[in-house]
Chain A
Amino acid sequence: MKTLIRIICLVLMIVSFIAYIARASAFPIASANLLPWSLWFFLFAFANILLWQRVMKLLSFSLLVIWFYAFTASIVPETSTAKLDLSSIERTPDAFVEAGEAIFKGKGKCLTCHTLDPSAPKGRCPDLTGIGTRAATRKPGMTAKEYFIESAYEPEKFLVPGYGKIMPPVWKAPISLSNLEIETVIAFLQSQGGEVDLTPFEPPVDTGSAAVGVEVLPPILTGDPDRGKNVFVNGAKCVACHNVAGLEKPIDQTLDEGVEVVAAPELTDIAALNSLRYIEESILKPNAEIVSGYGSASVRVGGAAVQGTLVSQDSEQMVLRIKAPDGSETERTILFSELEPEPIEELVNLKEKGYFWVQATPADATAPISGELVEEDEESITLKVGDETQTISKSDVKVQVTVTTFDDDEPIVGELVSETDDEVILNVDGAERTIDQFDVDTMESSRAFGKRLAVTSPMPSNFPQLLSVADMNDLLAFLTTLTGEAAGETAAAAEGAEAAEPVPAE
């Protein structure tokens, strides 16, 4: 009888173990919550340990330990990167928002760095509560949806002040969201206080390229951090402008002629907030990415050029910190509407050059068209005129020419009709005027006029020429050690043992 009981207990233990692992539905007489298979297994395993001796006792004990670890790991919060089947998703706001939320919290792992709770402590990346309404004001000339698209595909193009360049393009490895998945996430973000716009869009980058996902880094950082520190302090004299906690600025700092000490970003935690690639790029190409609040801006207002540090901007105005000759600084608010249009000679890469408003005259029009620069490709530009958009062909605009001659003091301004080796014919106020090339002193042509906000880095761009390869390696090695106290979580993550930011369960 005792043997029979033992065998029954053994069989039931094995069955309940298999049922638990296979996630079988509940035992016939009870619900899964009341008497789950884990409980049955535990009871039978315990009974077997008491009933059996030697080998079977060992087997029961071993199974109990294996089950214990499986059970413990199954009760902690977890997230899934499983793909949602979006092949038959309805193109409705509700369906997109629902799918987008699942991807935002799951495969996209956005909550690793972002939060959706305004009361939460500052995370690695901005809190996204209400981003649906706020997004439209992030960048001048950009709608909320355009901002979301740029943030997903090219997050490095705009950094929210106070945050580092940490967000990876979500279409790249390891997040690797598809275009449709990104669309759903954008819909979810738009639903955070804004209206969901499901208009299809073209990704701004070629996501189909085979190698775009990999970030190839040098295999090993061969530089010496101590020598790099010397380069930082005495060689490149970075310490003159950049502050690093624990590094004092030498009193007898001698700078090369023409190098000005300017406000520059704090670097105490640069390595915790940014990738090695970003740090390297910041040295070699300082204008590629400029930290908010540290860019040098130059604009034309009231007939004069105004230069200063761009402190902040929104869709209507900007604030510049302007340094007076006596060293004092004042802040000046400038409306974008106040900026004076500048002539644009070639309609190429207008957005990259900082143009946000353009005025041009199509060849078949009598009056110029002006508005916010919405889109630009190789062949055309699209302007937002009132509530509508108008596309103008770049090769089909009237060219405005300003000619000064040796004979007249006043320049002659008109539309270019034709130009040969002998003469230039302009249309000035409806009347054609021919000017002999022999008389032309200067001639400037412009295909359009535009307002722009050009922001450049005050950091010298000649470090690649100043620094040897060895110095550069050493400097990089030093900068990668700057993980800073504020970046404790990020740096600690590198240490290999701290679970810094558990992700809430779905």
Chain B
Amino acid sequence: MMSLTRRFLPANSRKRSYAVLVLLIAYALLLVLPAFAQQDVGDTEYRPFPKIGSRNAAWIAAQLHLLFGSFILGVPMFAVVIEFVGMRTKDLRYDRMAQEFIKLCMAAFSTTALLGGVLVFVLMWCYPKVMNKMTGIFGPTMIFYVFLFFGETFTLYLYSYAWDKMQNRKGWHLFLGVLLNIFGTAIMFVSNSWLTYQTSPSGIDEETGNFIGTTWEAVNNFTWMPINIHRFIGNIAFGGSIVAAYAAFRFLVATSREDREHYDWMGYTGNFIALCGLIPLPFAGYWLGREIYQFNQTMGINMMGSLFSWLFIIQAVMIGVLFIGANYYLWSGMGRIEGAEKYARYRPYMAAIIAVCVAIWMTPRSLIATPQEVAAMGGRYHPLVGLFGLMTAKNTVVNLIILTTFLSFLFYRRLGKTPIVGWAKIGNIAIAIIFGFAVIAIVSIGVAGFRVVTDFRINTLTPIQVFIALFVMISVTIIDLIMYRRAMVSGTINWGKMTDRSQYVLILLAITFTSLMGLMGYARSGLRENWHIFGVMPDTSPDSFTPRLSDAVNIIAVIMVIFFALVGFIFWIGLLGEKKEGNRSTH
């Protein structure tokens, strides 16, 4: 391994990587330590964390670790795909962009490990008994985690530092990338088992409350796989959005035309990746919600109909911002392509559709109202607005938003190209008919949803709506690809010709993604209320309650500030390194 490292790494990188490696080994040892220290806890249940309290300390450390972790797990996924595209198309730009993504990942990797170490320290110090209990159940997985962590570290270092050296062995390099993703995903799955066990424990003896199951039973608990899938997709979306924000930042501070062109393209790609992750994310969230409800009905009602009900309205606001922002960015991008006027006239209509749909999505089921207002409305639910609060209306508008976003992308894709196939007109008519029928069908099903039994709506109508949307996206993409395969280039893409405003939108999207993750992390963890392990190990500390939404969002805001400050610092360090290398090569 050492000879391999020596062979591929430049001398300065080697020094840096050794230092980081020592740090990572220290973290790994730290992580596994609790498994060997179970007897030393004694009767100490809690130790207070100075000033900010134990819960806030653990919250901040965990959320920051999670955000960085999401980034370093999400980025390699699409970096490998982009590298593969570069290899197939022999377009070096893709290869360079994938390498740049991995450089960002490298910069964030050691910070992730460092924050993981901080989190373990905080948990060991503040919650010794909880950690004792958890390590007693999950000890073997923690040792497995350490092995995976080493695997992740070595493959990431090899994958990154050997990039240039392995240009002639792309197949092997891609294999390293795939291996890196396997390690990364496995790490996430293992650590997800710990936190999901706290929410939905399994293998418990009902009489004594003791854990009597196997480690696998504890791992394979009720919410484990839904969280795994949700986070897997979420990491891609989050990674894409952070990369896009980084590109936006570099675009805004760029002084040369080349830089602006490059980072404009990078921002576009990052946003495209984020959108690809964002679209299936609601379906994964839906599955997770159902599983929580199945595990414990009261927990499900608390989530959607009680304690966290307004949180999901805030979630709708954020997702609305994500879709509006992503569409706005695409529409702004039309300005950099010649001949965009043809499609620009549709933008106000698409904007109106998305705005109305988001407004419906954000409508609560019932509104807080005085008795007089209730009387004026003619009931607890407003006769018209109340209908928008129902799930059938929300499902309908979500599908319409997705289709409108897809249409935006379709227009964007077509810009600067003129199809030369003879059936182009018929193809366009076919696409218009598919869209038209799909919208009519989705809306009709949505209206019918008000009149059928819920069971039928959930199990039949809603999936039909989803399949219609998917059918449109797949069939139209196929028609469009064939139609524009040998299209005539009628206008060039002027990369770099983007407004600053559009770059701010990319930053807005990244902050919104991050805030959304923080908010949903609060919901997932808060569902346990006053239990460390739901129903098994009560929280008897002064923090044994779920904080109010307004308190939680303030903590999340603090986390956001720290996260973006750290990200900014890491990127700035990377920028300094680039300048130094640039100066050296100039001299």
A contact set with B: CB distance below 8 Å:
21, 23, 54-55, 58, 61-63, 65-67, 69-70, 72-74, 76-83, 107, 109, 112-113, 117, 119-121, 166, 168, 172-176, 209-217, 219, 221, 245-246, 268-269, 271-272, 275-276, 481-485, 487-505
Question: Are B368 and A73 in contact, CB atoms less than 8 angstroms apart?
Answer: no
**B300 in contact (CB, < 8 A):** yes
User: In chain B between 282 and 314, which residues have their CB closer than 8 angstroms to a CB of chain A?
Assistant: 282, 285-290, 293-307, 309-314
Interface residue tally for chain B (C-beta within 8 Å): 101
**B167 in contact (CB, < 8 A):** no
A contact residues around B364 at 8 Å (CB):
499, 502
Bound state CA distance, A159 and B244, in angstroms?
56
Question: Are A121 and B380 in contact, CB atoms less than 8 angstroms apart?
Answer: yes
B contact residues around A119 at 8 Å (CB):
371, 374
Question: Are B561 and A72 in contact, CB atoms less than 8 angstroms apart?
Answer: no
A-B contact pairs, 8 of them (CB 8 A): A66-B515, A73-B310, A73-B314, A214-B535, A489-B305, A494-B289, A496-B286, A499-B310
Question: Are A504 and B368 in contact, CB atoms less than 8 angstroms apart?
Answer: yes
Least CB distance, A281 to chain B, in whole angstroms: 14
B contact residues around A217 at 8 Å (CB):
222, 294-295
B contact set with A: CB distance below 8 Å:
201-202, 204-210, 220-222, 249, 252-253, 282, 285-290, 293-307, 309-314, 316-318, 364-368, 371, 374, 379-381, 389-391, 394, 398, 452-456, 458-459, 462, 504, 507-508, 511-512, 515, 519, 527-531, 534-536, 538, 544-550, 552-554, 556-558, 560-561, 564
Question: Are B310 and A272 in contact, CB atoms less than 8 angstroms apart?
Answer: no
Considering only CB atoms, which chain B residue lies closest to A480 in the complex? B294
Considering only CB atoms, which chain B residue lies closest to A214 in the complex? B535
A contact residues around B544 at 8 Å (CB):
83
Candidates A55, A107, A117, A269; contact of B253 at CB < 8 Å: A55
Bound state CA distance, A385 and B204, in angstroms?
47
Interface centre among A113, A168, A492, A505 (most CB of B within 10 A): A492
Bound state CA distance, A72 and B362, in angstroms?
13
Candidates B201, B456, B564; contact of A214 at CB < 8 Å: B201
Considering only CB atoms, which chain B residue lies closest to A211 in the complex? B209
B contact residues around A109 at 8 Å (CB):
302, 306-307
Candidates A62, A209, A219, A497; contact of B289 at CB < 8 Å: A497
Question: Are B529 and A500 in contact, CB atoms less than 8 angstroms apart?
Answer: no
Other than the given A81-B307, A176-B538, A493-B300, 9 more pairs (CB < 8 A) read A67-B557, A76-B310, A77-B310, A109-B307, A121-B379, A175-B529, A213-B535, A246-B456, A502-B368
Bound state CA distance, A487 and B297, in angstroms?
14
A contact residues around B391 at 8 Å (CB):
488, 492, 495, 497-498
B contact residues around A494 at 8 Å (CB):
289-290, 293-294, 300, 304, 458
Bound state CA distance, A497 and B304, in angstroms?
7
A contact residues around B531 at 8 Å (CB):
173-174, 176, 213
Least CB distance, B173 to chain A, in whole angstroms: 35
Question: Are A272 and B311 in contact, CB atoms less than 8 angstroms apart?
Answer: no
Question: Are B301 and A503 in contact, CB atoms less than 8 angstroms apart?
Answer: no
Considering only CB atoms, which chain A residue lies closest to B220 in the complex? A219
Considering only CB atoms, which chain B residue lies closest to A83 in the complex? B545
Question: Are B206 and A214 in contact, CB atoms less than 8 angstroms apart?
Answer: yes
B contact residues around A121 at 8 Å (CB):
379-381
Least CB distance, B570 to chain A, in whole angstroms: 15
Question: Are B553 and A74 in contact, CB atoms less than 8 angstroms apart?
Answer: yes
Least CB distance, B70 to chain A, in whole angstroms: 18
Interface centre among B316, B371, B512, B548 (most CB of A within 10 A): B548
Question: Are A481 and B455 in contact, CB atoms less than 8 angstroms apart?
Answer: yes
Question: Are B209 and A54 in contact, CB atoms less than 8 angstroms apart?
Answer: no
Bound state CA distance, A454 and B359, in angstroms?
55
Question: Are B453 and A74 in contact, CB atoms less than 8 angstroms apart?
Answer: no
Question: Are B534 and A174 in contact, CB atoms less than 8 angstroms apart?
Answer: yes
Question: Are A219 and B202 in contact, CB atoms less than 8 angstroms apart?
Answer: yes
Question: Are B561 and A498 in contact, CB atoms less than 8 angstroms apart?
Answer: no
Is the contact region of chain B dominated by helix, strand, or loop, or is it mixed?
Answer: helix
Considering only CB atoms, which chain A residue lies closest to B564 in the complex? A62
Bound state CA distance, A77 and B300, in angstroms?
19
Question: Are A73 and B311 in contact, CB atoms less than 8 angstroms apart?
Answer: yes
A-B interface, 6 closest residue pairs, ranked by CB to CB distance from nearest: A496-B289, A214-B535, A211-B209, A210-B209, A493-B304, A112-B306
Bound state CA distance, A334 and B317, in angstroms?
59
Candidates A175, A219, A221, A487; contact of B298 at CB < 8 Å: A175
Considering only CB atoms, which chain B residue lies closest to A220 in the complex? B222
Question: Are B511 and A276 in contact, CB atoms less than 8 angstroms apart?
Answer: no
Question: Are B310 and A502 in contact, CB atoms less than 8 angstroms apart?
Answer: yes
Assuming the contacts A61-B504, A73-B549, A173-B531, asked whether A497 and B285 have C-beta atoms less than 8 A apart, the reply is yes
Considering only CB atoms, which chain B residue lies closest to A500 in the complex? B305
Bound state CA distance, A211 and B203, in angstroms?
12
Assuming the contacts A276-B294, A495-B458, asked whether A174 and B527 have C-beta atoms less than 8 A apart, the reply is yes
B contact residues around A168 at 8 Å (CB):
297-298
B contact residues around A70 at 8 Å (CB):
553-554, 556-557
Bound state CA distance, A168 and B528, in angstroms?
15
Candidates B296, B368, B455, B557; contact of A69 at CB < 8 Å: B557
Bound state CA distance, A499 and B530, in angstroms?
22
Least CB distance, B363 to chain A, in whole angstroms: 9
Question: Are B371 and A483 in contact, CB atoms less than 8 angstroms apart?
Answer: no
Question: Are B317 and A72 in contact, CB atoms less than 8 angstroms apart?
Answer: yes
Question: Are A58 and B252 in contact, CB atoms less than 8 angstroms apart?
Answer: yes
Question: Are B297 and A275 in contact, CB atoms less than 8 angstroms apart?
Answer: yes
Candidates B318, B535, B548; contact of A173 at CB < 8 Å: B535
Bound state CA distance, A374 and B461, in angstroms?
53
B contact residues around A482 at 8 Å (CB):
455
Question: Are B365 and A78 in contact, CB atoms less than 8 angstroms apart?
Answer: no
Candidates B374, B458, B511; contact of A65 at CB < 8 Å: B511
Question: Are B365 and A500 in contact, CB atoms less than 8 angstroms apart?
Answer: yes
Question: Are B560 and A79 in contact, CB atoms less than 8 angstroms apart?
Answer: no
Least CB distance, B526 to chain A, in whole angstroms: 9
Question: Are B561 and A66 in contact, CB atoms less than 8 angstroms apart?
Answer: yes
Least CB distance, A302 to chain B, in whole angstroms: 46
Question: Are A117 and B557 in contact, CB atoms less than 8 angstroms apart?
Answer: no
Considering only CB atoms, which chain B residue lies closest to A488 in the complex? B454
A contact residues around B534 at 8 Å (CB):
173-174, 213-214
A contact residues around B305 at 8 Å (CB):
112, 489-490, 493, 499-501
A contact residues around B390 at 8 Å (CB):
488, 492, 498
Question: Are B507 and A483 in contact, CB atoms less than 8 angstroms apart?
Answer: no
Question: Are B454 and A73 in contact, CB atoms less than 8 angstroms apart?
Answer: no
Bound state CA distance, A494 and B309, in angstroms?
12
Bound state CA distance, A505 and B310, in angstroms?
11
Least CB distance, B564 to chain A, in whole angstroms: 6
Bound state CA distance, A51 and B210, in angstroms?
62
Bound state CA distance, A382 and B307, in angstroms?
42
Least CB distance, B513 to chain A, in whole angstroms: 11
Bound state CA distance, A213 and B220, in angstroms?
21
Interface centre among B305, B504, B528 (most CB of A within 10 A): B305
Interface centre among A65, A213, A488, A498 (most CB of B within 10 A): A498
A contact residues around B389 at 8 Å (CB):
498-499
Question: Are B365 and A501 in contact, CB atoms less than 8 angstroms apart?
Answer: yes
Bound state CA distance, A81 and B527, in angstroms?
11
B contact residues around A74 at 8 Å (CB):
549-550, 553-554
B contact residues around A275 at 8 Å (CB):
297
Question: Are A79 and B548 in contact, CB atoms less than 8 angstroms apart?
Answer: yes
Considering only CB atoms, which chain B residue lies closest to A71 in the complex? B553
Least CB distance, A165 to chain B, in whole angstroms: 10
B contact residues around A502 at 8 Å (CB):
309-310, 313, 364-368
Least CB distance, A213 to chain B, in whole angstroms: 4
Candidates A55, A174, A496; contact of B528 at CB < 8 Å: A174
Considering only CB atoms, which chain B residue lies closest to A120 in the complex? B380
Bound state CA distance, A121 and B365, in angstroms?
14
Question: Are B302 and A174 in contact, CB atoms less than 8 angstroms apart?
Answer: yes
Bound state CA distance, A505 and B367, in angstroms?
11
Bound state CA distance, A121 and B383, in angstroms?
14
B contact residues around A21 at 8 Å (CB):
554, 557-558
Question: Are B366 and A493 in contact, CB atoms less than 8 angstroms apart?
Answer: no
A contact residues around B221 at 8 Å (CB):
219
